[in-house]
Amino acid sequence: MKYYSTNRQVPEVSYEEAIFNGLPDDNGLYMPETIPTLPADFFENIGDMKLHDIAYEVASRFIGEEIPEKELRRIVEETLSFDLPIVEVEKGIYSLELYHGPTCAFKDVGARFLARCLSYFSAKEGKKSTILVATSGDTGAAVGSGFYGVENIEVIILYPKGKISKIQEQQLTTFGKNIQACEVRGTFDDCQKMVKDAFLNKELKEKYNLTSANSINMARLIPQSFYYFWTYAMLKDMGDLVVSVPSGNFGNLTAGLLGQKMGLPIKQFIASTNVNDIVPSYLTSGQFEPRPSTSTISNAMDVGNPSNFYRMKEVFGSSWEDMKEGVKGYAYDDKITAETVADIYRKTDYLMDPHGAVGYLGLKEYMKDHPNSIGVFLETAHPAKFGDVVEPIIKQEVEMPERLAEFARRTKVSTEIDATQEELKKVLETL
Ligand SMILES: *Cc1c(COP(=O)(O)O)cnc(C)c1O
């Protein structure tokens, strides 16, 4: 499979080049030259297939011969080394729990797959690389965990000072070994821009063999489509499936749309956001207007310029009309999000994190007019990850999974820097 840039100013590349480059030189995003399709019998038999076999079939269509079957099966198995439970919250409404991985958020899936693909190619070619990643919270932890101890790879995590939760900070500043954390005096958008600028700087990029682990990397996106197939496999006999995706940078939603293009019968996708409603506004007005992000209680979705928007556009052939049919968009403020966490917990005993609650809200809104559908929202993080937000809402302590508690006990190590290229260079020089 070849990958092209959405800006179309550079030649197509292999999967290996696409994931090492991260970002094409023309500042676009990589997309597969054709979106592969899966045969009808795959969907007929999917209900009897194991998760790892489903995931392998999907992955192999995107990667082709570049990773041999045996290795790709191993990568998929190691990536999905935890469960993906689908829990009925109320009648016809299901939560797809994506937080059972090592750092308790869905980003484990993409990060683990990317780390293993890069490590496979690095070992094959004997080269060293540096992963540069900006995080609004969960990516950094997932990437740190996914790459921890991986040979020939150094990781630098940039996060906005004071804008992520305590436990998120503990997670991404306490790995040690090949994982370094930088606390940036700025916003997530500043961090993301620093990464983008570093990649556009040819000298830096080549000197340190910079690679991105952000959701812009194709190897993050591909495995995120696995769980949409899994959801279909589990629920396909129940009715028309509607899936609501709490979104920030829109990687997760894009992965779902790719799955749908591959033939996956999901009836409707819903883009649910907090007040950073750039995409829902676009769906209403046809105008894509990025703006500085606003801080919310669903902070992993505080994104003012969602990069995967351009991939979504490709999926819909740049047609606004088609996108607004294919994706319904809804946005919610912190007040209603918090009320929903409390309300659903009280009524059903099911505790959502603020991101999942935004997804739930969008799903419910759509289902008012489509009551016979089967609704699924993505529960993207464990509520304990956002304990400082969730505990005051439910006026109760949230029990922490042991793997999170372990992070909380470690000592933070991070370098505080300004949001400039110069400061980032200094950090790179210490490698
Ligand atoms: C990153 C993240 C999101 C947003 O995912 P995107 O793919 O960027 O849209 C939602 N919820 C949680 C908990 C996250 O960490």
Quote the pLDDT of residue 56: 98
Q: Please give the share of the chain, as a percent, with pLDDT higher than 90.
A: 86
Q: Which atom of ligand 1 is nearest to the CA of 356?
A: 11
Quote the pLDDT of residue 23: 83
Q: Look up the domain containing 374 and give its range.
A: 84-103+220-400
- Cα 26 to averaged position of ligand 1 atoms, centre (Å): 26
**3, part of any domain:** no
Q: Are 95 and 344 in contact (CB under 8 A)?
A: no
- Cα 356 to averaged position of ligand 1 atoms, centre (Å): 10
When comparing pLDDT for 94 and 210, which is higher? 94
The mean pLDDT of 94-123, rounded to a whole number, is: 94
Name residues contacting ligand 1 (CB within 6 A). 105, 107, 138, 215, 246-252, 300-301, 355, 380-381
3-state secondary structure 191-256: HHHHHHHHHHCHHHHHHCCEEECCCCCHHHHHHHCHHHHHHHHHHCCCCCEEEEEECCCCHHHHHH
- pTM comes to 0.92
Residue from 29, 103, 107 whose mutation best tests the ligand 1 pocket (most atoms within 8 A of CB): 107
Q: Which of 70, 91, 107, 412 is catalytic?
A: 107
- Cα 168 to averaged position of ligand 1 atoms, centre (Å): 13
Residue from 169, 277, 355 whose mutation best tests the ligand 1 pocket (most atoms within 8 A of CB): 355
- Cα 164 to averaged position of ligand 1 atoms, centre (Å): 13
Residue 39 pLDDT > 90: yes
- Cα 422 to averaged position of ligand 1 atoms, centre (Å): 29
**318, part of any domain:** yes
Query: pLDDT tens for residues 338-397?
Result: 999 999 999 999 999 999 999 999 999 999 999 999 999 999 999 998 998 999 999 999
**27, part of any domain:** no
Quote the pLDDT of residue 25: 85
Q: Do strands 129-134 and 210-212 pair parallel, antiparallel, or not at all (unpaired)?
A: parallel
Confidence of residue 152 (pLDDT cuts 50, 70, 90): confident
Confidence of residue 166 (pLDDT cuts 50, 70, 90): confident
Q: For residues 202, 208, 213 and 219, what is the CA-based torsion angle, rounded to 10 degrees?
A: 80
- Cα 362 to averaged position of ligand 1 atoms, centre (Å): 15
When comparing pLDDT for 279 and 200, which is higher? 279
Q: Which residues contact 135 (CB under 8 A, 6 or more apart)?
A: 141, 143, 157, 158, 159, 164, 172, 188, 191
**264, part of any domain:** yes
Report CA-CA distances (Å) from 323 to 257, 292, 317, 318. 10, 24, 9, 8
Q: Which atom of ligand 1 is nearest to the CA of 353?
A: 13
Quote the pLDDT of residue 136: 79
**56, part of any domain:** no
In 3D space, the residue among 361, 360, 392 whose CA is nearest the CA of residue 376 turns out to be 360
Quote the pLDDT of residue 125: 86
**265, part of any domain:** yes
Quote the pLDDT of residue 332: 98
**CATH of residue 274:** 3.40.50.1100
Query: pLDDT tens for residues 118-145?
Result: 989 988 888 888 999 998 777 889 899 9
Residue from 249, 273, 277, 279 whose mutation best tests the ligand 1 pocket (most atoms within 8 A of CB): 249
Number of domain units in the chain:
1
Confidence of residue 212 (pLDDT cuts 50, 70, 90): confident
Q: Which atom of ligand 1 is nearest to the CA of 254?
A: 7
Q: Which atom of ligand 1 is nearest to the CA of 107?
A: 15
Q: Which atom of ligand 1 is nearest to the CA of 385?
A: 13
**Is 207 one of the catalytic residues?**
no
Confidence of residue 416 (pLDDT cuts 50, 70, 90): very high
**39, part of any domain:** no
**332, part of any domain:** yes
